[in-house]
Amino acid sequence: MTPLYEKAQNWLAQDPDTETRTELQNLLNQAQSGDAAAEKELAARFADRLQFGTAGLRGRLQAGSMGMNRVLVAQAAKGLANYLLANDREPSIVIGYDGRKNSQIFAQDTAEIMAGAGIKTLLLPRLLPTPVLAYAIRHFNTTAGVMVTASHNPPDDNGYKVYLGKQHGGGQIVSPADIQIAQQIDLAAQININDYARSPNFDILGEEVINQYIEKTAQLAVQPACDLNYVYTAMHGVGKETLLKTFQAANLPLPHIVVAQAEPDPKFSTVAFPNPEEKGALDLAIALAKEKNAEFIIANDPDADRLAVAIPNEQGEWKPLHGNVVGCMLAWHIAKNRPEKSGTLACSLVSSPALANIAQKCGFANEETLTGFKYIAKVPNLVFGFEEALGYLVDPQKVGDKDGISAAVVFVDLVRSLKAQGKSIQDYLNDFTQEFGAYASSQISLRVNDLADIGKLTDAFRQNPPAQIGENAVVQSKDYMNGAEPNNILVYHLNNGSRLIIRPSGTEPKIKLYLDVKGDNAQHAQSTLQQFEQAVRDLLRSETYGKHDC
């Protein structure tokens, strides 16, 4: 038997899932019968292990060590359990899960393995948003938390997000914890998962923690009551129930619901990608908004840790607001209404440079972090944090991660404050431009089939750094691989004040390029952004940088 076939047989002997076991057995049979395509696919399934990192695990639901499945999750749970036992004399964990395929069984397996290892284990009672899990970590002061979700990834993916509580603050893991947990997982993977101790002695939580989350989040709404006409979509995820209960507790007017996307659906049947940022994802919400003559749209992603907003322009055409725009709207609102002018406004380095301007003018400190809320949430004296990818932390005392439910409460409350002044959302945006200047942002995403292609592009930029982009010279650059915590991020500043950042996605097989400009007014900023984006696309199409079709 070849080493590849032996790996597959060993995996089959452990797999408790009928679907993936049958899938792998059929693939193995085809490979052994001489099917070259099956042999190639089998080799890809066992080429390595799905790597555990600061985003935990995330990948395609499929058999083999390169997929998300019950064997891989059991190994991850056992490795995490061993890490917790080595780092806390009285370890504890709380586990949550969303509505994706296998989320509940992955959470159940994790709970049984944690309890079998002697760790105090709490399991949320049903599928719930990620922010509820993040809240529960602090509420119960557990050593760790696990949320089974792939957030806004494609339907065939799932993931395993790990948090560290107690002295670590309840946020997502950062280095070196990710490396140490990964080492424990590798050791656990050397043992057949059927030999792991399991126990049913874990606690399934009741409604108390959910009600506490709702009560605390509802307190964020403080503006005068008024009628609002708006639309909400849960994007086939788990946000609707918690959001509506929170809005009711806050005495906020309730939205029109996009019924076809209101309930959890692991197939995400009405969207190509269940991500509010993706083209077409808000089409049903926009159709309902037009029907109801709504003022605005809010949307959560499937695990409700992100918030999207859309508004109509003067011609009645609906367009989603960029995450930087919503982030700056919330930042200004929170800064203006916070009685004590102390604390820090923070965003990741790929987010709008406008936040620094807001902080300075409103009397707050400002901090720019590496990408991810695992860094933003750890900023000392944090008042508000955001990331351009629709992530906002408006209540850092409550959770240590982005929270699309509480961000929705504050956004709707902001609209109530505008109504009290006789203003619209567009008026607020105009006021912002007058106060801080006209900023504009966009993003180019290059999806890759082979993860090695990500390194090829960033290597090409390192080997041949651009002297100019379009008609503007590059006057400053920074390579974060040379920093104290190396990251594959490249930053280029141009002589007209524009900025280009290149980085791999932490959760998807993509390379992301972030473009930021500042103009004299909104029209000038948009014109500058369009020219800049065209220049960047031309650069990517050049032979020097891989002739990408973008």
| The two three-digit tokens of residue 170, written as one number | 């309840």
Give the pLDDT band (50/70/90) at residue 362. Answer: very high
Per-residue pLDDT at 506: 67
Active site residue 151: yes
User: In CATH, which superfamily holds the domain spanning 438-545?
Assistant: Alpha-D-phosphohexomutase, C-terminal domain (3.30.310.50)
Q: Which residues contact 456 (CB under 8 A, 6 or more apart)?
A: 546
Neighbours of 335 (CB within 10 A): 20
- Residue 31 DSSP SS3: helix
pLDDT recorded at residue 387: 96
Residue (of 311, 384, 320) closest to 351 by Cα position: 384
Tokens 């993003």 sit at which residue? Answer: 443
Residue 86 has what pLDDT?
Answer: 98
Band of pLDDT at residue 507, cut at 50, 70 and 90 = low
CB atoms within 10 A of CB 156: 17
Largest CA distance in the chain: 76
The pLDDT of residue 548: 80
* Long-range CB contacts for residues 457-461, cutoff 8 Å, separation at least 24: 457/502, 457/511, 457/545, 457/546, 457/548, 458/488, 458/490, 458/502, 458/504, 458/511, 460/544, 460/545, 460/546, 461/490, 461/502, 461/545
For range 207-217, the mean pLDDT: 98
What are the beta bridge partners of residue 300? 307
Q: pLDDT, tens digit, for every residue of 438-467?
A: 999 999 988 877 766 777 888 889 999 999
- Please tell me the pTM assigned to this model: 0.93
* pLDDT interval class at 101 (50, 70, 90): very high
Please give the C-alpha separations between residue 546 and each of 56, 269, 446, 447, 538, in angstroms, as whole numbers: 30, 35, 12, 14, 11
The residue ranking higher by pLDDT, 315 or 199, is 199
Which pLDDT belongs to residue 210? 98
Q: Which SS3 state, helix, strand or coil, does residue 174 take?
A: coil
- What pLDDT, in 10s, does the model give residues 134-154? 999 999 999 999 999 999 999
In contact, 534 and 528? CB cutoff 8 Å: no
CA distance 542 to 533: 14
Those residues with Cβ within 8 angstroms of residue 13's Cβ, 6 or more apart along the chain or in another chain: 192
Task: Give the single-character DSSP code of 193.
Answer: G
Domain-by-domain residue ranges, the chain?
1-47, 54-206, 438-545
Here the tokens at position 430 are 């105009």
- Tell me phi and psi for residue 467, to 5 degrees: -85, -25
pLDDT given for residue 499 in this prediction: 96
Q: Which residues pair with 157 in a beta bridge?
A: 60
CATH code matching the domain that covers 54-206, chosen among 3.40.50.280, 3.30.930.10, 3.40.120.10, 3.40.50.10800: 3.40.120.10
Q: What integer pLDDT is reported at residue 344 of this predicted model?
A: 98
Element (H, E) at 502: strand 499-504
Q: Do domains 54-206 and 438-545 have the same CATH topology?
A: no
Options 151, 348, 351, 352, the catalytic residue: 151
Packing angle between helix 18-32 and helix 3-14, nearest 10 degrees?
160
Number of CB atoms found within 10 A of residue 486's CB: 11
Helix (H, G, I), strand (E, B) or coil at 537: helix
- Tally of CA atoms within 13 A in the half-sphere of 171 that contains its CB: 22
Q: What is the pLDDT of residue 55?
A: 79
Task: Kindly write down the DSSP assignment for every residue of 197-230, as one continuous string.
Answer: ---S--EEP-SHHHHHHHHHHHTT--SPP----E
- Interval 393-445: pLDDT, tens: 999 999 999 999 999 999 999 999 999 999 999 999 999 999 999 999 999 98
